Amino acid sequence: MSERLSRGGQVPPASKVDRLRDLLAGPSPVRAVGAHDGLTAKLVEQAGFDAVWASSFEISASHGLPDASLVTMTQYLDAATAMDEVTDIPVIADCDTGFGGPMNVAYAVQRYARIGIAAMCIEDKLFPKINSFADIAQDLLPAEDFALKIKAAREALGDEDMVLIARTESLIAGHGLEEALGRGRLYASAGADAVLVHSKSRRPDEVLEFASKWDVDVPLVAVPTTYGTVSEQELHESGFRLVIYANQGLRAAVRGVQEVLRELNAAGTARSVDERIASMSEVFALQGMPSGYRTTP
C-alpha cells in the first residue's frame, strides 16, 4: 500500500490492483469466479470469493452468442465496468486474444486500466478465437508475436498499474508440455505478471506437471473446468497462486431457470415455483434498494 497521505491526513485505501497483488503474494490460493454482469458479480462477492472473473464465455452467452470473438471490446468493457462498480473485490477481465494485434491490445489495456479493472488476461490463440472447449481445431499465434502483445500492453500502461495475465493454449491445441513451458517463459520475460496454463484434460496431471517444471518467479493460474477433482489446496501446493472457476455460476443459472420455467409452464400458476426462486426482497437487497421499499414478499 502506498504511504502517500490523502488530504484528510489518512492513508488512502489500497486500490483493487494493489489488493490483488497482495493476495497473489499471500499464503493462500486466490479464488475467482466467473460472472457476466453486476448482479452475478455481486453474488460472487457475497459468496466470499476473492475476485470476479469477467468471463468472455459468460458475457458472450449472456448476449445469446457463441464465445467466438463476436462480442466487441466495448461490450466486454461495459460488462466489466458494471461488475467493478458494484463490488469491492478485484475484477479480472477475460479479454480473449486482446481484440486484435499489439495496437488493439495497447488500446484495450489503457481503457480497462482507466476504469480501475485490476487485471487483464489475454490468450495466445489466433483472432478470431473460438472457445477452448469447442470441438474444433485451436490455432495458436506464433509465440514471438504473442509476446509482442504482452510488451505492447506493458508499455501502454505507462504509470498505470494492472496485473497482466498471459494465457497459453498450447495444451488445449495439443502442442505438448515443452511448448507450453517455452511459451510461458517467453510471456513472463515479455512482461506478464502471471501465466495461465489452460487444459481440457479430465485429469489435472498435465497442469500439475507443468507447475512442477515451472522455473520462473511468476505466479501460475489454473482454470479447473474439466479437471474438477483437484482441490484448490493441491493446486496451490503445486505452485498455482490463482484458481478460477470460470463458468459454474452461469451454468447453474441456466439449469435453474430451465427447471423453474418447465415447472411454471406445466403448472400454470406462479405459486408452483415460489419455493424455488428468490424473493423480491432478496433481489432488492442485491440491488441496494432502500429498505423502506422492500415491502414486496
Place of cell 428468490: 278
Contact call for residues 134 and 226 (beta carbons, < 8 A): no
Instruction: Give me the amino acid identity at 172.
Output: I
Copy the grid coordinates of residue 31: 479464488
Place of cell 466470499: 48
Phi, psi of 31 (to 5 degrees): -115, 120
Distance of CA 274 to CAs 136, 156, 254, 267, 297, Å?
A: 42, 51, 18, 12, 10
What is the DSSP secondary-structure string of 59-127?
A: HHHHTT--SSS-S-HHHHHHHHHHHHHT-SS-EEEE-TT-SSSHHHHHHHHHHHHHTT--EEEEE-BPS
Q: Catalytic residues, which ones?
A: 67
